[in-house]
Structure 1
Amino acid sequence: MGEQVPAEAKKATKAAEAGAAARSAAAEEPGGKPARKSAPKKAAPARKAAPAGRVTPAGRAAPSKKAAPSNAEPAVKEAPGGKAGGKKPPKTESRTALVRRARRINRELAEAYPYAHPELDFENPFQLIVATVLSAQTTDLRVNQTTPALFAKYPTPEELAAANPEEVEEILRPCGFFRAKTKSVMGLSKALVEDFGGEVPGRLEDLVKLPGVGRKTAFVVLGNAFGRPGITVDTHFQRLVRRWKWTEETEPDKIEAAVGALFPKTEWTMLSHHVIFHGRRICHARKPACGACPIAPLCPAYGEGETDPEKAKKLLKYEKGGFPGQRLKPPQAYLDAGGIPAPPLRAG
């Protein structure tokens, strides 16, 4: 028994030496160079828990310290540029977005009303400026029914300036406020004769000096008689641009400046026609026909009026106060078979 112990010890020693040699050979680098010994690893310190929502270096989301309540609303995703995305439009609209929306509305209205035009009948600048002054507090239809007799008797500024006021009042009685309007048209006729040689001036600063002529009337004359761009801020225009959130201004001069900054100057005159046409026919003050509106997807006030298409069609106005002097037809009826705008049909 005493001899077996040394034999077993020798076997253990040889086995240990063989294992060490194998490990040494496996550790050698290619080319016979021994591999560098790595420094002994130190125990890594305990990591602090990452804040909720952060990602740990290992690629796993760290648990949040507090569990969110089960009834919490989902977080709103952030769109490019830091703006919150979602189904509801943002409460505030950027300047660029406002300009794009406003110009698209004008393009849609241009397609809906390709025949948009000044709805006062006139043959020259003098007739237009007189008709525009008379249109205050009445409809264009009523003015168009009154001016033929007026211009037949007094076709020039000289003749109207020298007319008998009582005779002019009698002609203008159907327009309402006939005494004040008689004073205005006779006064502006006298000013045209004395200051401008009987001709209507083509400058804004000259037009607003005439009796009864403000910026609205002046821009009607400049845009439609002289082809010079201007924005006509009448009651329809004021109501619609505020309803569309183009501006929050309430004074006509400030509305004119705010809206004018959204469009090229060359579009101002036709923009006025488009907006006024729409306000008279579809976007009424009390009961707008939202369900028949061509710009409903672009209107922030959609839903203030009737949204049912069939009921909304009954609210459209093309004759009484809406489409003066024209037959009761929808806008599409004024396009010929080739899709080209046909001239408006005048009554009689």
Structure 2
Amino acid sequence: MNQTKRQAIFDRLAAAIPEPTTELTYSSPFELLIAVVLSAQATDKGVNKATAQLFPIANTPESILNLGEAGLKEHIKTIGLFNSKAANIIQLCRQVLEKHNGQVPQTRDELEALPGVGRKTANVILNTAFGYPTIAVDTHIFRVANRTRIAPGKNVLEVERKLDKYVPKAHKKDAHHLLILHGRYTCTARKPKCQDCIIADLCEFKEKSV
């Protein structure tokens, strides 16, 4: 995969998805942080359903702490791993209040120090809430990067580093969501829709169905 081809791929994806963004529903960096923590091994649709009930009642560190762990669990019990997520979120809220004056921090190290927040979640927050050109490699991005050969790698960190190196600068801020949406709706896991794919002629997937 050469850089000319990568440029063309991102140009086409950007033209097809002019305003790429997360499908999680949120109205503040803190709401996004909670939604992303809840989204681990869960669907955005399932998270949105739960937060539609939670956020009108509690959408700040203080109000979630006032709910308590048991109260929080009642609102998120439809989401997988809700017990451990509730425990992490309560600790996270306490830490955001005590160490960051109630504001979501804007550095990777500070975000990763929060309970329940790993590198992927930190990258999502930096990119989506604050506009940094970070790329969080989830299962969709890992698959698309390897399958197309845009940035092949054996693990998520290797793929992230290659994407950081190879994604054209003009597309760096939106690359995260462009690749997720392409993987979610076109370059799907079991049956990629190669016949409908706008980058099929540029993709280097050997088992293309066109």
- Please indicate the TM-score interval, normalised by the length of the shorter structure: over 0.9
- For the pair shown, which has the larger CA radius of gyration, 1 or 2? 1
2:43 alignment counterpart? 139
1:159, distance to aligned residue in structure 2 (A): 2.0
Spell out, residue by residue over 1:320-348, the C-alpha distance to the aligned partner (whole angstroms, 9 max, x if none). Answer: xxxxxxxxxxxxxxxxxxxxxxxxxxxxx
* CA contact 1:120–1:144 (8 Å) conserved in 2: yes
Of structures 1 and 2, the one with the larger relative CO (CA 8 A, separation 6+) is 2
2:15 alignment counterpart? 111
State the distance in 1 between where 2:103 and 2:126 align. Answer: 13
CA gap 1:284/1:108 in 2 versus in 1, 3 angstroms? same
* CA contact 1:238–1:252 (8 Å) conserved in 2: yes
SS at match of 1:199: coil
**Residue 290, structure 1, aligned to residue 194, structure 2:** yes
Q: What is the aligned counterpart of 1:194 among 80, 94, 98?
A: 98
* CA contact 1:296–1:302 (8 Å) conserved in 2: no
2:159 alignment counterpart? 255
Spell out, residue by residue over 1:231-272, the C-alpha distance to the aligned partner (whole angstroms, 9 max, x if none). Answer: 121110000000111333222222111111012455323011
Q: What is the aligned counterpart of 1:170 among 56, 74, 77?
A: 74
One-letter amino acid of the counterpart of residue 114, structure 2: L
* CA contact 1:137–1:176 (8 Å) conserved in 2: yes
Alpha carbon RMSD of aligned pairs, Å? Answer: 1.5
Question: With structure 1 as the length reference, what TM-score do the two structures score?
Answer: 0.58
**Residue 233, structure 1, aligned to residue 137, structure 2:** yes
1:25 alignment counterpart? none
1:187, distance to aligned residue in structure 2 (A): 1.6
State the distance in 1 between where 2:176 and 2:7 align. Answer: 13
State the distance in 2 between where 1:214 and 1:100 align. Answer: 33
- Count of matched residue positions in the alignment of Structure 1 and Structure 2: 210
* CA contact 1:290–1:302 (8 Å) conserved in 2: no
Structure with bigger helix share is: 2
Question: With structure 2 as the length reference, what TM-score do the two structures score?
Answer: 0.94
Spell out, residue by residue over 1:257-297, the C-alpha distance to the aligned partner (whole angstroms, 9 max, x if none). Answer: 11110124553230111111010111111100111111010
State the distance in 2 between where 1:178 and 1:256 align. Answer: 28
Runs of 4+ in structure 1 off by over 4 angstroms are none
State the distance in 2 between where 1:290 and 1:112 align. Answer: 15
2:83 alignment counterpart? 179
State the distance in 2 between where 1:266 and 1:172 align. Answer: 38
State the distance in 2 between where 1:209 and 1:143 align. Answer: 23
CA gap 1:272/1:108 in 2 versus in 1, 3 angstroms? same
State the distance in 1 between where 2:182 and 2:151 align. Answer: 18
Q: 5+ residue gaps in structure 2?
A: none
State the distance in 2 between where 1:110 and 1:265 align. Answer: 13
1:124, distance to aligned residue in structure 2 (A): 0.6
**Residue 211, structure 1, aligned to residue 118, structure 2:** no
State the distance in 2 between where 1:164 and 1:226 align. Answer: 28
State the distance in 2 between where 1:287 and 1:156 align. Answer: 41
One-letter amino acid of the counterpart of residue 87, structure 2: K
One-letter amino acid of the counterpart of residue 208, structure 1: E
State the distance in 1 between where 2:172 and 2:118 align. Answer: 17
Spell out, residue by residue over 1:37-80, the C-alpha distance to the aligned partner (whole angstroms, 9 max, x if none). Answer: xxxxxxxxxxxxxxxxxxxxxxxxxxxxxxxxxxxxxxxxxxxx
**Residue 271, structure 1, aligned to residue 175, structure 2:** yes
